[in-house]
Structure 1
Amino acid sequence: MSNASRVVVVTGGTRGIGLGLAREFLARGCQVVICGRSEDAVQKALAELGDGVRTSGLAADVSDRDAVQRLWDHAVAAFGRVDVWVNNAGLSTSRGDLHTIGASEVEAVFAVNVVGVVNGCAVASQGMAGQPGGGWIWNMEGFGSRGEHQDGMAVYGSSKRAVQYLTQALVRQTKGSQVKVGFLSPGIVATELLVGDYAEDPAGFDKVKKIFNILGDRVETVTPWLADRVLSADKHGVRVAWLTRGKAARRFMTAGFTKRDIFGEAD
C-alpha cells in the first residue's frame, strides 16, 4: 500500500512528539487524524499542519472508551479506513517521592498512559480486524518501559512498564492475524512533557540538563526517522527505537567535542 493511500491516527497529536509525527506522516503523503484533550488544541494543531484536505481531528479523552471509538469512527468517516494507529497520548507527574504526589495526579497519569492505551488498542484492533488488509498499532514507550529506574519517576515509570506488558500481550493475541503491533521508542526528546517533569524542581533540572543534552534530541530530529520506520515496518512485534545503547555510548564518547542544546532555539 502506498503512503498516499494510508490513513494514520495519532492520539495526543496536538503537541510534542505527536504533532511532530503527524507532520511527518503528512509530509510522506498520508492522510492524518489527530486527537487532543480540547477542541481548541485540535484546531490549533490542524492549523499548524496546514492541510485541510488530508488532515482531520477530534477532541477526545482517551481514557473514555466511547470517545476513542468516536475517534475511530471519525477517521473512517473522513478517509474510509485506518491503516496505522499510534497510541501516543501521555501524561507525567512532577518528579518527587511517591508520597508527595497526589492521588488525583496519579489517577490522571494512569488514566491516559495505561487506560488510554488499552482503549486505543481495543478499538483499533477490533476495527482493523474487520477491514480488508488489517492495519498497524503502535504503542509509545517511555522511561520505565524496559525496567529503567530513577528517583522521582515511580508513577510515570510504572505506567510505561504497564504499557510494555500490554503491548507484548497484544503482540501474542494478534499473532497470525492481519493486525500488526509494534513498539515505538523515541528516546529522550525535548518536549513540554519532559520539561514539565521538573516544574517543581528547577535545581534538579539543572543537574540533569547536561545528560539530556548528550542523549536527547529535538522533536524535528526524531520524528522523521520514526515516521519512516513506522511506514516501512513489515515484522509483527518490531521495536522501533531511536536511542539505542550503541548510540548512547557514542554520544557519551563524543560529548567532550560536541556542544548540543536541545532546549534552545532551533537553528
Structure 2
Amino acid sequence: MATIVITGSTKGIGKGLAQEFFNQGHQVVVSGRNQDDANQCANDIGKGSDKVIAVACDTTDKAQVEQLWQAATDRFGAVDIWINNAGLARTVWSILDTPDDEVNTMVTTNMLGTINCCKVVANGMKQQGGGKIFNMLGGGSDGEYFPGMGIYGTTKRGLDYFTNALSKELKDDHILVGKIRPGMIITEGVIREAKADWDNFQKRRKFANVLCDKVETVAPFLVTNILNFNKTGKKIAWLNPRKMTLRLLGSLLKKPKDKFAEFGL
C-alpha cells in the first residue's frame, strides 16, 4: 500500500487519479486551495475512510507546500508518490489579449507552484530514502503550437525542461521523476473554456470528439503506469501518436459519438 499526495485534486483529472488510487487500496492526500472543497473531495472519494485526508494548499506559497508535506507524513509516515497536478489553463485569448492577471496566475501556479513542490518534496524524499515525483504536462509541452494557448503552452514547455533537469539532478538519490501527459480530457476547465469561446469550440468539436476522453477512462491507465514507473525522466502518455492516428482514421469510417452533450455543451 502506497501513500500518494496529489495537488489540485479537488476536481478534474486530479480527483479522478485520487479516486482510482483509493479504489486500488492506497492511501491518498487530496489538496486544493479551499479546505471545504478538499474536505468534500475526500468525502466523495473515501466516504469517511481514514485512508483519505484533505489538506488545503496554495502551491505558490512554499510554506503551505511544506505544511502539506508535513501533514501527509504525520498521518501516513512517508510519501511514496507526489503528483504535481495543480495548474490553470486559460485558452481563449491570444498572447497579446491575455489579461495580465491571468498571465500571472498561470505562470505562478503552473511553474512556481510546481517548482515549490518539487523542492520541498525532493528534500523530504531524500530524508526518507526515496520516492516518486510526477509533473503534469499538457498542450505545448512538446513545443507544438495551439491557438489560444500561447501562455499556458509556454508554462508547460518550461515544465518539460524543468522536469528533465530535476530527473538528472536527483538520479543518485533514489527519487524517480516522471512526466504525465494525460491527453485531452473533458474536465471542468475544458467545459469552462468551451463556453467562454463557443464559436471556436464549435469549429473544433468534431476533432475534439475524436481525441477527447472522460476522466474515468484515462485515470486507471495513468494510475497503473504511475505505480509501475521505474525509470526516471520518462513520460507516461495516454494519447500517443499511434492512438491518435488510429482514432482519426476510424473517424473517417464511423462518425464519433458526441462526448460533450452530456456536459451541457
Q: Does structure 1 residue 124 correspond to structure 2 residue 121?
A: yes
Tell me the distance in 1 between the aligned counterparts of 2:34 and 2:23: 25
TM-score, normalised relative to structure 1: 0.94
CA contact (8 A) 1:94 1:199 kept: no
Q: Does structure 1 residue 257 correspond to structure 2 residue 254?
A: yes
How do 1:89-100 and structure 2 match up within 5 A? 89-100=86-97
Displacement after TM superposition at 1:51 (Å):
4.2
Tell me the distance in 2 between the aligned counterparts of 1:189 and 1:177: 33
Tell me the distance in 2 between the aligned counterparts of 1:120 and 1:58: 14
Q: What is the match of residue 56 of structure 2?
A: 59
Tell me the distance in 2 between the aligned counterparts of 1:145 and 1:51: 37
Counterpart selection for 1:163 from 156, 159, 173: 159
TM-score, normalised relative to structure 2: 0.95
Gaps of 5+ in 1: none
Tell me the distance in 2 between the aligned counterparts of 1:199 and 1:206: 10
Tell me the distance in 2 between the aligned counterparts of 1:44 and 1:260: 32
Q: Does structure 1 residue 141 correspond to structure 2 residue 137?
A: yes
Spell out structure 1 runs of 4+ moving beyond 4 A: none
Letter in 1 for 2:131: G
Tell me the distance in 2 between the aligned counterparts of 1:207 and 1:93: 18
CA contact (8 A) 2:91 2:152 kept: no
Q: What is the match of residue 26 of structure 1?
A: 22
SS in 1 for 2:184: coil
How do 1:196-207 and structure 2 match up within 5 A? 196-207=192-203
Tell me the distance in 2 between the aligned counterparts of 1:165 and 1:145: 9
CA contact (8 A) 1:170 1:181 kept: yes
Q: CA RMSD in A?
A: 1.3
Identity %: 37
Displacement after TM superposition at 1:65 (Å):
0.5
CA contact (8 A) 1:94 1:198 kept: no
CA contact (8 A) 1:109 1:156 kept: yes
Tell me the distance in 2 between the aligned counterparts of 1:235 and 1:172: 11
CA contact (8 A) 1:167 1:183 kept: yes
How do 1:79-118 and structure 2 match up within 5 A? 79-118=76-115
Tell me the distance in 2 between the aligned counterparts of 1:197 and 1:122: 31
Tell me the distance in 1 between the aligned counterparts of 2:206 and 2:244: 14
Q: 8-17 or 171-180, which moves further after superposition?
A: 171-180
CA contact (8 A) 1:137 1:182 kept: yes
Letter in 2 for 1:121: C
Q: Does structure 1 residue 195 correspond to structure 2 residue 195?
A: no
Q: Deviations over 1:7-26 (max 9, x none)?
A: 00000010000000000011
Gaps of 5+ in 2: none
Q: How many positions carry a matched residue from both structures?
A: 261
CA contact (8 A) 1:94 1:196 kept: no
Q: 166-175 or 253-262, which moves further after superposition?
A: 253-262
